[in-house]
Homo-oligomer: A and B are copies of this chain.
């Protein structure tokens, strides 16, 4: 399953707002179109947003009419600002943009011309995408060891192929367990308001032939109390020193998991880490009330009702059993120690 396709001078994306009903591909040729697609959540998922933003910069470089490296860099920088403004919480967006800008900045310093800068922007975006898939496979490899044969795994939202360049983070762990020959069942929470669990996770897993049962978000406690869940695996939008930002509802599940003695794992690439910050530094995006008051065209709440619609919540580290990255499985305190050390020691 692919969430996007780079077509040399255009980025084709699968419009996730139309799933599972229709598989509609959109071709984007300008960074403004990429920004709009991210904002409207035609694609979503922290890693995928990062990858696609990188391609947005590549499109900016390709589309720039500048004749000097400085002019081209200014055009790309403008696109970077636009893309960074789309969604404030997931950190991979900023990470990927900074990475492309860093490559272009260094190349310009050593005297690269506009054509080389264009080529480098595309190459870096492609590299980020390829690396994302590789990282997910390594997350899967490490994570599947935590999944016993015969287990039922609960997951929230969609941290699958549709949230990444491919394979998925939380669903990557599940896929790797299945590839290792284990018999795995998934319980997917529907994930209101935008229903990524019902629309995307159920769809992805059904396509792969992995047994999946759909529940509404408020059934989490009941299914856990009935002994129906062996472990929870979710993705992450940003991991800070004191905990994990992820799709709204994650914290509710984490508290219930601890109450029932069920392991709660977070699977995410290291590009999701922002360990120099703590939760108080992070802005939780609040989205349009209509996402709550409407499902598709159907109004489900009276006119004029006040709505709270945070897109994410924060799960303190004390609820997290372990975090799975491409580098291994870490208890929260180990994660901070490992990545602080590896940073001071330079690139891994």
Contacts and interface: CB of A to CB of B under 8 A. Distances in A.
Contacts of A253: 218
Please state the number of chain copies in the assembly. 2
Contacts of A193: 216
A23 to B, nearest CB: 11
Contact of A218 (B198, B211, B214, B249): B249
Interface string A293-313: 101111111101111111001
A191 interface: yes
Nearest to A315: B221
A199 B292 contact: no
A310 B219 contact: yes
A202 interface: yes
Contacts of A124: none
B203 A216 contact: no
A206 interface: yes
Contact of A313 (B202, B222, B307): B222
Contact of A199 (B249, B251, B301): B301
Given A198-B301, A222-B251, A217 B215 contact: no
A295 B293 contact: no
A248 B216 CA distance: 9
A191, A193, A198, A253: which has the most chain B beta carbons within 10 Å?
A: A198
Interface string A313-336: 110000000000000000000000
Nearest to A284: B222
21 contacts: A20-B299, A189-B218, A190-B192, A190-B301, A192-B192, A202-B305, A203-B302, A212-B306, A213-B307, A214-B308, A215-B307, A218-B218, A218-B249, A218-B252, A219-B249, A221-B249, A222-B313, A223-B308, A252-B256, A295-B296, A295-B298
5 nearest CB pairs, A to B: A218-B249, A221-B252, A217-B218, A192-B216, A222-B313
